[in-house]
Structure 1
């Protein structure tokens, strides 16, 4: 599904901020990506999402070399990936229901085919009473949950989550972890970038990818 082969990244003529990354993520797998603040977790996820290109090495995603893809192919592959960003990226002119349903509208599904799915997912993340609210009136935790629901609604083959529980209390964080685990059991590969040790301890069978000093260490 995803492989990094001796990938390095530098900005300009400076030294590499990520060096010799070599690992793979298989279908139906679950891993935490961790490391100290500033280690490059978000940068690594951007490489996977193809919003950054490596300065050396090769990244293969769904069997394709990401550096040789044309614009349409990049769009097609991104539709197979669910992403939870740290900055939420909710659209202010849409209400909560519309934000979560947006990925399904983009791929051409009729509302009658997905309305029940969206409402059920919003209920599960505790936002069923906020479906008509705009992002501007939501709390940070509510925006985080909305972003998670939007990423999950397409039932992605690969889920990338960047600090998805950072604005949540421990009880809701555990609940959302269970949702990620269930998604994984249904066939999605999951990568959660986090420095929350308590969260990782709740799913000890997950693989850990640890970034430190620009290099990645894998613990099965």
Structure 2
């Protein structure tokens, strides 16, 4: 689904933030991305999401070299990737339900075709009573779960999640992990960036450890 070959990234004339990254995210795979704060995990997820371009090296997304893709075509590729940002990026003027349904609305789907699915997913992440609430009223954990539900609602081929359990208690963290695992069983490739060793210990999955801009893989 995603392939990096000798990828490096720097901002301006500064030092390289990411160095010589070579790895593949296979179809239907599950992996954790971990490493110390400031190692570049969020930047790496942004490269996978195609919101950044590398300074050097090759990135292939769904078998296409992103350096050869017209800018106008990138949004179509991004629709195949779900992402959960650390800062949630919810729209404050939309309700919880409307935020989660937004990717489907953008694709032109009729509400009758997805309303039941949105409500069921919100109930599953513990937000069944918060469907009509606006984001400013939600707690940090509730915003996190709304962002996760939005990323999952369109059954992405790849899911990228940046610290998706960082604002929830341990029982909800396990529940969300089970949701990611179920999505993976249905065929979605999953990459979870996390510092939570306890979370990672619950799953026998590949660990991608980013340190000082370099990546080590442990199967």
- TM-score tier by shorter-chain length is over 0.9
Cross-structure match for 1:17: 17
Post-superposition shift, 1:71? Answer: 2.5
How is 1:15-164 mapped onto 2 (pairs within 5 angstroms)? 15-164=15-164
Moved more, 47-56 or 19-28: 47-56
CA distance in 2, matches of 1:92, 1:146: 12
Structure 1 runs (4+) deviating above 6 angstroms are none
How many residues in Structure 1 have an aligned counterpart in Structure 2? 219
Question: Could you tell me which residue of structure 2 aligns to residue 209 of structure 1?
Answer: 208
CA offsets, 1:92-123, max 9 Å, x none? Answer: 11111000001001101100000000000000
Runs (5+) with no aligned partner, structure 2: none
Distance 2:95 2:151 in 1: 16
TM-score (norm 2): 0.99
Gaps of 5+ in 1: none
Deviations 1:119-161 (A, max 9, x none): 0000000001000100010000000000000000000000000
1:191 aligns with 2:191: yes
Measure the CA separation in 1 of the matches of 2:40 and 2:46: 10
Distance 1:14 1:131 in 2: 45
Cα distance, 1:216 vs. partner? 0.2
TM-score (norm 1): 0.98
Which deviates more, 12-21 or 192-201?
12-21
Q: CA deviation at 1:11?
A: 1.4
What are the Cα deviations for residues 40-71 of structure 1, in whole angstroms up to 9, with x where unaligned? 00000111112211111000000011122112
CA deviation map 1:4-41 (0-9, x unaligned): 00001111222211110000010000000000000000
Distance in 2 (alpha carbons) for counterparts of 1:171 and 1:186? 23
What RMSD in Å do the two structures reach over aligned CA positions?
0.7
Counterpart of 1:218?
217
